[in-house]
Amino acid sequence: MGSSDVAILGVGMHPWGKWGRNFVEYGVKAARDALDDAGLAWTDVQFVAGGATIRNGYPGQVPAATFAQALGWSGAQVASSYGACATGAQAINTARTQILAGLCDVALVVGADTTPKGFFAPQGGERFDDPDWLRFRLLGATNPIYFGLYARRRMEAYGATELDFARARVKNGRHGLANPNARYKKAFTVEDVLASPMVSDPLRLLEICATSDGGAALVLSSMEFARRHTTDPARIAAVSTVTPEFPQTVIEMPNFSTDSAAGAQVPDTPFKDSIAKRAYEQAGLGPEDMNLAEVYDLSSALELDWYENIGLCKPGEAERLLNDGDTTIGGRIPVNPSGGLSCFGEAIPAQAIAQVCELTWQIRGQAEGRQVEGARAGVTANQGLFGHGSSVIVRR
Amino acid sequence: MSPQKSKKPAIEGWFDMDEKAPRLVGTRCAECSTVYFPAEKVFCRNPHCASSDLPEVRLSTRGRLWSFTNNCYPPPPPYVSPDPFEPYTVAAVELEAEKMVVLGQVAGAGVEDLEAGMEMELTLDTLFEDDENEYVMWKWRPAAA
């Protein structure tokens, strides 16, 4: 057992959907389910880490205290985190480090969101100093514009085809069919995907993740506390929250340009490769030790990039991995057995936490209808706007 | 388009408002030569450089197309969409001297006209207009031979 492991005693989720209710309700449901799963009472929780979203209607509600109040003020210590799509990993890491520092035994991590319909949009007003506002104003650069740039680049660099991208979507659709927390439980064919309207060429409507309401929670504890309550729990062996290294030479949301490499050496490891790499280093494990992965498939094509970024194959080999069935449940290294963002849509502060819930169910053998046989270790990968990496390794 | 409308940059100070010779306005670190666009005026962001001497520079006007895509649906505000909405194309162009990629909408070409690696050049074009003004942005277009 690694000295930096913490135990995952409980996991819980509120199903993803477009429920239109207050996010607190989703977070509380997820938290109560996680506490039940852990066999602990809310009042046993000493520390609450909440994942924040700054958009979508509730600035002023700070998540950790908001959830603590909804569960009933108990005097727990709290901390709220924000890292865009990587928010959940930041919250997990805050709780984990409190436990590893010996400052608490039991921590609750909660993230939940309520999203508007359509494209994510920046804050209102005239915000000429805000790159996120400016990219919409000056370029019309929505999130799918960036996804489209990456997808086209993959086609140009590696000969990926629209058919490959559609197959990734079809694979995830099948994976999510039996997942009770997934929003979309429908099996699409390649023809369905390719017949859906073009959004940002070459990506079509069915290949771009939706925005969803949902919530996810974890109850974490020290290994010592866990040994008194359970046997052989799933453990968090690593959390990576790295930033890029300068110069970051791949265009990233919400930027107008990459860093210039005219004055500094390009780093050996590109940002997206460095995210899981740091987690592997922490855990003393490598991609070859993983039995499954949950990656941030904001688009079908982006899922293929992640195969390479998390070391499942070499650059340019992701299409082969997909088409050989390696990343399908039953294959060598199933990716997104939950159905991924394809089937969930994005509930930003909950998403990195939901990835850990899925790995936990898989590793416990409780992922009914989507179980990866013999799963003992898995990795998550995710990336948040403004330079937030996110990767968590869960293992027995 | 009414001829009386005056032309204004969609954002002040990011490019020269010269339709015959448009240039992007950035900065270059006097110490390490890193180029910044949009301009970084205060501190060099190279972690190995402590310089705050960042004189203004004009960026190259030609580069190679790194990737491209389009938007087939009206984006939310603050983008100002014409009615009816017109899909637009966005290009990522790699500038050799600056060793960086700069985004821009594409003027006068759609995804079907583009191919990665082709040479693109900077141009100015209307982004949107209101009753008084025409707001101008830099855009990329396939380079003239």
**ipTM entry:** 0.97
Q: Do A133 and B38 touch (CB under 8 A)?
A: no
Comparing CB atoms, the residue among A119, A258, A260 nearest residue B76 is A119
Q: How close A86 comes to chain B (CA, Å)?
A: 23
Pairing of strands A77-81, A47-51: parallel
Pairing of strands B88-95, B119-129: unpaired
In 10 A of CB A314, how many CB atoms?
11
Instruction: Tell me the mean pLDDT in the region A52-81.
Output: 83
User: What's the CA gap between A174 and A164, in Å, rounded?
Assistant: 16
Burial class (CB in 10 A: 0-12, 13-18, 19+), B112: exposed
- Contact (Cβ atoms closer than 8 angstroms) between residue B137 and residue B125: yes
Q: How far apart are the first and last CA of chain A?
A: 9
Residue A60: the pLDDT is 60
Is residue A56 over pLDDT 50? Answer: no
Which one of A56, A115, A139, A211 makes the best mutation probe of the B interface by having the most chain B beta carbons within 10 Å? A139
Chain B residues touching A201 at Cβ < 8 A: 69-70, 72, 111
Residue A57: the pLDDT is 42
| Residue ranges covered by each domain of chain B | 60-142
> Inter-axis angle of helices A23-38 and A348-364, to 10 degrees?
20
Residue A54: the pLDDT is 67
Q: A117-167, pLDDT tens digit by residue?
A: 777 778 788 899 999 899 999 999 999 999 999 999 999 999 999 999 999
Residue ranges of domains in chain A, CATH in brackets? 6-118+214-233 (3.40.47.10), 131-206+236-395 (3.40.47.10)
> Inter-axis angle of helices A23-38 and A63-71, to 10 degrees?
70
Report residues of chain B scoring pLDDT below 70: 1-3
User: What's the CA gap between A345 and A160, in Å, rounded?
Assistant: 24
Is residue A59 over pLDDT 60? Answer: no
Task: Give the type of residue at A394.
Answer: V
* A59 Cβ neighbours under 8 A, 6+ residues apart: none
Q: How close A229 comes to chain B (CA, Å)?
A: 47
Q: A240-281, pLDDT tens digit by residue?
A: 999 999 999 999 999 999 999 999 999 999 999 999 999 999
Instruction: Tell me the mean pLDDT in the region A370-383.
Output: 98
User: What's the CA gap between B143 and B122, in Å, rounded?
Assistant: 8
Q: How close A130 comes to chain B (CA, Å)?
A: 12
> Which residues are paired to B95 by β-bridges?
B100
Q: Do A145 and B71 touch (CB under 8 A)?
A: yes
In 10 A of CB A74, how many CB atoms?
14
Closest listed residue to residue A176, CA positions, set A306, A374, A318, A369: A369
Mean model confidence pLDDT for chain A: 95
Closest listed residue to residue A154, CA positions, set B70, B100, B67: B67
Closest listed residue to residue A42, CA positions, set A96, A107, A93: A107
Please report which helix (H) or strand (E) contains residue B28, including its range: strand B25-28
> For a pLDDT cut of 90, what percent of chain A falls above it?
91
